[in-house]
Amino acid sequence: MNIYVAELIGTAIMIFIGSSVVANVVLEKSKGQNSGWIVITAAWGFGVMAGVYAVGRISGGHLNSAFTISLAVIGQFPWKDVPGYIIAQIMGAMIGAGATYLTYKKHFDATENKEGILAIFATGPAIRDYKWNIMSEIMGTFLLVFGLLIIGVEENKLGSLGPLIVGLFIWALGLAIGGPTGYAINPARDLGPRIMHSLLPIKNKGGSDWAYAIVPIVGPIIGGVIGALLFKCVYL
């Protein structure tokens, strides 16, 4: 399978699971309505796990534009493949978000909460202060990339358990640092679904909050690069 197609498929799987758990929790008349943050963070973690298991042996299972860029910065991924990976990740995220809409169509129709509908597709701050929102994304993605690279060092010992450890790690990050901004920690994860929110004919939807969209792009890239550089200093 082409590495770009693999990244598209893996990201679509991740986003379909992640966006759908938020839909399950926030949309009206869903059986999981109001089931809470632990449910959301768990499904996001295992969504990443599922995506990595699906395509990791083909493309490396980045599923995250900040991770791809960070690997390139420290020389562990070719820059020539970075644009293709990023495009595939964004397209996969769009497909995954579209699949969530199709799955929960009747529940979208029954929901009038514009903020809740947007939260299914895109992240947003609990307290809007762009400099601190960016800081939150920097810190979260720093932990993500540094941690993933350490897990990669232990890959030979972990074997097939590697993606499971990654999923548990993502779950822990969501529980620990997800409160301020919803822990995008991945530009494609936010941008692709936000585009779909703006395009889909969702009943009762509001704006797509494009003013905030720069935060989950810039913050994760900065944080990821810092995490990768620290890893390089310590381990390489």
In tens, the pLDDT along 142-157 reads 999 999 999 998 877 8
Average pLDDT rounded to a whole number, residues 154-180: 93
Please report the pLDDT score of residue 159 as a whole number: 81
Quickly state the pLDDT bin for 31 (edges 50, 70, 90): very high
pTM of the model: 0.96
Contact 190, 123 (CB under 8 A): yes
Please report the pLDDT score of residue 230 as a whole number: 98
Contact 215, 137 (CB under 8 A): yes
Average pLDDT rounded to a whole number, residues 20-35: 98
Contact 10, 128 (CB under 8 A): no
For the stretch 99-131, pLDDT in tens is 999 999 999 999 999 999 999 999 999 999 999
Quickly state the pLDDT bin for 236 (edges 50, 70, 90): confident
Determine whether domain 3-235 maps to CATH 1.20.1080.10: yes
Please report the pLDDT score of residue 39 as a whole number: 98
Is residue 1 scored above 80 in pLDDT?
no
The domain spans of the chain are 3-235
